[in-house]
Amino acid sequence: MQDDRSVLPDSDPLGLFAAWFAEARESEPNDANAMALATATPDGAPSVRMVLLKEFGPEGFTFYTNAHSRKGGEILTNPRAALLFHWKSLRRQVRIEGPLSEVSHEQADAYFHSRAFVSQIGSAASDQSRPLDSRATYIARVEALESACRGGEVARPPYWTGFTLAPEQIEFWLDRPNRLHDRRRFTRAGDEWASTLLYP
């Protein structure tokens, strides 16, 4: 039987996340930075999808998207969200909750133009989440934009942007034998973090 000492430390959740994320990048076969992003409408109807974490630090966790998409619309009208990382190779998960804020135009420009040319084209040509009559229509738009931008820069659409989630709660879950898992929740109060173990 496991003893009462958790392997999860009781301070510095951002440092613990950084350590776990570094391990996941070594062990996960695909996209260690993939995370489920849960948003909701103003009246509380939820939706969830996978996105990619692109930056993280003391200010929060940043991802990029089309603000005209369903998730973008929900974020703009109800700027709170939850994230979930599930690293199956490590048998760990991390849940993060908090408010969202939009990145600066300069930050969005810098990330957009760091992407592969084809990825920039694909994003600029897409009316994300809108009805599409056929895939051929989308491919034709991609090809037309690629031809127009060949040898030049792809302009970042003004609605293609990023959001940073400022964590108010972070919960770490670690698999243990016989479902006697370890869970620790960190709650932010100003610049300080308090933590508590949770029953699995």
Q: Classify strands 92-102 and 160-165 as parallel, antiparallel or unpaired.
A: antiparallel
Q: How confident is the model at residue 146 (pLDDT cuts 50, 70, 90)?
A: confident
* CA dist., res. 148 & res. 126, Å (int): 16
Residue 116 lies in a domain: yes
Residue 26 lies in a domain: yes
Residue 8 lies in a domain: no
Instruction: Please state the domain count of the chain.
Output: 1
Residue 17 lies in a domain: yes
* pLDDT tens digits, 55-92: 999 999 999 999 999 999 999 999 999 999 999 999 99
Residue 7 lies in a domain: no
Q: What is the CATH number of the domain that holds 179?
A: 2.30.110.10
Which residue segment(s) compose the domain that 174 sits in? 13-197
Q: Does the pTM exceed 0.75?
A: yes
* Ranges of H-type helices in 28-116: 70-77, 105-114
Q: How confident is the model at residue 35 (pLDDT cuts 50, 70, 90)?
A: very high
Looking at the annotation, which residues are catalytic?
Answer: 179
